[in-house]
Amino acid sequence: MPEIKVTPLGAGQDVGRSCILVSIGGKNIMLDCGMHMGYNDDRRFPDFSYITQNGRLTEFLDCVIISHFHLDHCGALPYMSEMVGYDGPIYMTHPTKAICPILLEDFRKITVDKKGETNFFTSQMIKDCMKKVIPLNLHQTVQVDDELEIKAYYAGHVLGAAMVHIKVGSESVVYTGDYNMTPDRHLGAAWIDKCRPDILISESTYATTIRDSKRCRERDFLKKVHETIERGGKVLIPVFALGRAQELCILLETFWERMNLKAPIYFSTGLTEKANHYYKLFITWTNQKIRKTFVQRNMFEFKHIKAFDRSYADNPGPMVVFATPGMLHAGQSLQIFKKWAGNEKNMVIMPGYCVQGTIGHKILNGQRKLEMEGRATLDVKLQVEYMSFSAHADAKGIMQLIRMAEPRNMLLVHGEAAKMEFLKGKIEQEFNINCYMPANGETETVTTNPSVPVDISLNLLKREMALGGPLPDTKKPRTMHGTLIMKENSLRLVSPEQALKELGLNEHQLRFTCRVQLQDPHSDSDTLHRIYTHLKSVLKGYTIQHLPDSTVMVESIVIKLSSSAEDPNTKVLLLSWSYQVIDLSYSQLLLNIRKKLTCSR
């Protein structure tokens, strides 16, 4: 039985360093190649030694697919391709290809330049890695090789995020990456067609959350920002340069405009303008509304939001600052946080998920004293707010996607084990399909049951359709007979006659003849005629012929009669039929003749 194997090297019952290996139809595919932001040691990257202990990965992988530009999905890519070694194709969408190297470089700088780590990938490695990338367009069917094809679907989540359908023969897997099922201020909702994959591998970040309506959350966010500004406090919003940041900027920009607010809004690091430029050039990846109006008003040109300078952090008075990175684990957002943490008038709003080990994660868990480098401690007095703005599908959204794609099996990754367990139960109950949630390094094997595509000769098909009609009668199914010819890689179903002809074979006739003696005083021809009329009256629905050469044919069974000259009353009945006769059996026929005439051996 064919089977599909799925092994997460990362993101198995965890969020971070997403990396999932799929073996399908003899092909091996790596889905995402992310890093874990909660770790600084080996656990930061997926354990590629699982694939091979020594040497390069090229011969073990048919392709690598990156779902989107977040580092927990692409952060280990240069390490994998340049340091471990992989020269095969890497697929990602155009926006991901554009933005991914920038974030990787950003990440590299923080790690190497600020933390002084060595043995890390270099700028050149990022460039070399990106040269191996083949851009993917939405809905385009990409033939990786003769058998393996992939197709990308829109996933929402961030600019350029994609879900991917992987197909070999009639087996297939869908990997969602991260996705959201509700359109937001700048992105559309994920969509997939009814592709009925054998396995749907879905993220499950918000497996237990049913988020309240988007409008309420936005109002809440604006209210909190507004109140802090009103009392003269400063608001820090740690974000990643691309993604959530643009959505919140659009939100604040329109609010400032409407409320005529004067407090400054800043966006840290030089990435901002560049980031917005990406949004402008890839506007076709944003939502309907932005795309429709972009000629008149480009939503990514902000009037109220200005570039941030480090010195501004000490300015008196209220302000709102968007700073990177989003989990307060390094860089500018952390610096500003340290400055503002001591003042209870200030507020930090965490608009997304924070992985374990980051300061973001600690303060969200209510920790008010933080140990910093060099034994210093930091008292957290400012208000900490969490707003679930991450564009992930919630439980409802995940169920919605299952309904769209109609998978045969479900496999959860990118979530916490306990929450996955809950969702798994719900999925198995509602859809009556198996749901798996392997941990890292654990392999889940799903046997598939693919139907076998075959080429049927049009003559045979047409004949069958003409006889049986398009839908079989369930009470009396018509059986169709054919011969399947297997030659090299081709499977052809033809009529047995055609098969003989094509294969240059002679038909071998197998016939049976049976002699039966009977007594009848009539002449030979009369006896035969009596047999004929009798059979005609009892065997309704059969073709019965009385041929001029003194034979009676019942379907293809031949009946002949002879008698010897010395005893004309003793007749010998000859029944002859071929092996293929199936409509009527010889014994059945004889039974009927016996009823009429007395037979003896």
Partner 1 sequence: YKLMMNYCLSGHPTLPCNVLKFKSTTIMLDCGLDTTSVLNFLPLPLVHSPRLSKLPGWVSKDGTVNLEKELKECAGRVFVDSQPEFCLPEKELLDLSTIDVILISNYHCMMALPYITEHTGFTGTVYATEPTLQIGRLLMEELVNFMERVPKAQSATCWKNKEIQRMLPGPLKDAVEVWTWKRCYSMQEVNSALSKVQLVGYSQKVELFGAVQVSPLSSGYSLGSSNWIIQSHHEKVAYVSGSSLLTTHPQPMDQSSLKNSDVLILTGLTQMPTANPDGMLGDFCSNLAMTIRAGGNVLVPCYSSGVIYDLLECLYQFIESASLGTTPFYFISPVANSSLEFSQIFAEWLCHNKQSKVYLPEPPFPHAELIQTNKLKHYPSIHGDFSSEFRQPCVVFTGHPSLRFGDVVHFMELWGKSSLNTIIFTEPDFSYLDALAPYQPLAMKCVYCPIDTRLNFHQVSKLLKEVQPLHVVCPEQYTQPPPSQSHRSDLMLELQPPPMPYRRCSVLSLPFRRRYERIHLLPELANSLVPSEIKPGISVATVSAVLHSKDNKHTLQSVPKPPPVPPTKKRKRVIEEPPEVLAPKPLLSGAVPLEAFLATLHKHGITEVKVEETADGHILHLQAEDTLIQLEEDGTHIVCDNNEPLRTTLRDLVLRFLQKL
| Shortest separation between residue 518's beta carbon and partner 1, angstroms | 11
Contact 13, 440 (CB under 8 A): yes
Q: Which two tokens stand for residue 509?
A: 């006739």
Contact 166, 173 (CB under 8 A): yes
Phi, psi of 424 (to 5 degrees): -55, -45
Applying the rule CB under 8 A, the residues between 147 and 206 that interact with partner 1 are: 151, 170
- If one asks whether residue 466 binds partner 1 (CB under 8 A), the answer comes out as no
Question: Would you call 164 exposed, middle or buried from its count of C-beta atoms within 10 A (0-12, 13-18, 19+)?
Answer: buried
| Shortest separation between residue 141's beta carbon and partner 1, angstroms | 5
Amino acid type, 103: L
CA distances from 492 to 333, 489, 502 (A): 65, 10, 11
Applying the rule CB under 8 A, the residues between 267 and 296 that interact with partner 1 are: 274, 277-278, 280-284, 294-295
Neighbour-count burial for 5-15, b at 16+ CB within 10 Å, e otherwise: ebbbbbbbbbb
Q: Which is nearer to partner 1, 479 or 598 (CB)?
A: 479
Q: Which two tokens stand for residue 297?
A: 């008003």
Q: Which is nearer to partner 1, 256 or 267 (CB)?
A: 267
Q: Which member of 13, 457, 527, 563 binds partner 1 (CB under 8 A)?
A: 457
Applying the rule CB under 8 A, the residues between 336 and 395 that interact with partner 1 are: none
- If one asks whether residue 541 binds partner 1 (CB under 8 A), the answer comes out as no
Helix (H, G, I), strand (E, B) or coil at 230: helix
- Give dist(CA 106, CA 87) in Å, integer: 24
| Shortest separation between residue 570's beta carbon and partner 1, angstroms | 14
- If one asks whether residue 582 binds partner 1 (CB under 8 A), the answer comes out as yes
Applying the rule CB under 8 A, the residues between 86 and 115 that interact with partner 1 are: 94, 97-98, 101
- Give dist(CA 107, CA 112) in Å, integer: 9
Q: Which stretch binds partner 1 (CB under 8 A): 28-36, 110-118, 470-478, 520-528?
A: 470-478
Phi, psi of 247 (to 5 degrees): -65, -45
Does residue 344 carry a catalytic annotation?
A: no
| Shortest separation between residue 479's beta carbon and partner 1, angstroms | 5
- If one asks whether residue 556 binds partner 1 (CB under 8 A), the answer comes out as no
Q: Which stretch binds partner 1 (CB under 8 A): 409-417, 437-445, 529-537, 573-581?
A: 573-581
- If one asks whether residue 219 binds partner 1 (CB under 8 A), the answer comes out as no
- If one asks whether residue 558 binds partner 1 (CB under 8 A), the answer comes out as no
The single residue of 82, 171, 203, 444 carrying the catalytic annotation is 203
- If one asks whether residue 581 binds partner 1 (CB under 8 A), the answer comes out as yes
Q: Which member of 516, 528, 535, 561 binds partner 1 (CB under 8 A)?
A: 516
Contact 399, 204 (CB under 8 A): no
| Shortest separation between residue 307's beta carbon and partner 1, angstroms | 17
- Give dist(CA 514, CA 304) in Å, integer: 103
| Neighbouring residues of 144: CB distance < 8 A, sequence distance ≥ 6 | 27, 62, 63, 89, 91, 150
Applying the rule CB under 8 A, the residues between 130 and 149 that interact with partner 1 are: 135, 137-142
- If one asks whether residue 449 binds partner 1 (CB under 8 A), the answer comes out as yes
- If one asks whether residue 472 binds partner 1 (CB under 8 A), the answer comes out as yes
Helix (H, G, I), strand (E, B) or coil at 553: strand
Q: Which is nearer to partner 1, 112 or 500 (CB)?
A: 500
Applying the rule CB under 8 A, the residues between 7 and 46 that interact with partner 1 are: none
User: Which residues are tagged catalytic?
Assistant: 203
